[in-house]
Amino acid sequence: MGRHEMGTWDDLKKRLKVYYASEGVVKKPKIRDLDRFERESGFKLPDDYREYARTFGPGTLGKGWQISTPGFADADDEDVDLARFNHRFSDRRFVRFCGKEDFHGWFAWDPEDVTDAVRHHYGIYLLGGPQGEDPDAPPIKVAPSFHEFIMSYALGAASSVNKGVAVRARPMAPSCPRSWDSPRSAHEWPCQSDGTARRRLGRARRAS
């Protein structure tokens, strides 16, 4: 099915509990944003990543996994937009797409490590060493595809919890965001009280 393969994230989406920012809008890139990134960078985005970006948008997944996508060049935080995120680095071999709160390393595709030529899958590597603090450390391969990285590496056991993975938007005010499928007010949702994974949509807070 190639570029038009769908349904990769259906199971995860069913188990997500989404929280969003005060405006109640979950922003997602358009297909033209993804295509433009490919044209300008010369890098074919993995099919499973393209579907993820179109399904969930950029933001923080689970316990601090900050995923960037194309289409947000005007965002306050440059790490939200995939192109701006990568322009920060002089190393052009890897295409970085993920950081993590309280961790200084990055997760990136290696275009030279093609694991599925049809679906444009590449090996995903941790840059910065096991602690994320050594820029000269050799890259560490952590997954053969984006889907495997999300489900097995980032979410791990949380991805199979029957209650599901919670998703959370970045609050625009000093209050806990509310679920997008509930009419309750923002202040009625407990912050960090249920112990489930959360995803913050919108501007991601990068570890300093």
Using DSSP, state whether 34 is helix, strand or coil: helix
If you classify domain 2-201 with CATH, what class do you get? alpha beta
Q: Quick one: which of 11, 6, 7, 5 has its CA closest to 155?
A: 11
> What local confidence, expressed as pLDDT, does residue 164 receive?
39
- 48 backbone φψ class: left, alpha, beta (φ>0; ψ -120 to 50): alpha
Residue partners of 133: CB distance under 8 A and separation at least 6: 104, 105
For the entire predicted model, the pTM comes to 0.73
> What local confidence, expressed as pLDDT, does residue 35 receive?
98
Q: Kindly report the backbone phi and psi dihedral angles of residue 132, in degrees, each rounded to the nearest multiple of 5, phi listed first.
A: 75, 20
> What local confidence, expressed as pLDDT, does residue 13 receive?
83
Q: What is the distance between the alpha carbons of residues 59 and 63, in angstroms, rounded to a whole number?
A: 11
- Amino acid 37 reads F
> What local confidence, expressed as pLDDT, does residue 158 receive?
39
> What local confidence, expressed as pLDDT, does residue 5 receive?
52
Contact 127, 106 (CB under 8 A): yes
Tens-digit pLDDT string for the chain (208 aa): 445 455 779 888 887 776 665 555 678 999 999 999 999 999 999 999 999 999 989 988 888 899 999 999 988 888 899 999 999 998 889 999 999 988 889 999 999 999 999 999 999 999 999 988 898 899 999 999 999 999 999 988 433 332 334 444 332 222 222 222 322 222 222 222 223 333 333 333 333 3
Element (H, E) at 52: helix 47-56
Evaluated on CA atoms 144, 33, 107, 62, the torsion sign reads: negative
Q: Where are the domains of the chain?
A: 2-201
Residues in the chain: 208
Q: What is the distance between the alpha carbons of residues 135 and 137, in angstroms, rounded to a whole number?
A: 6
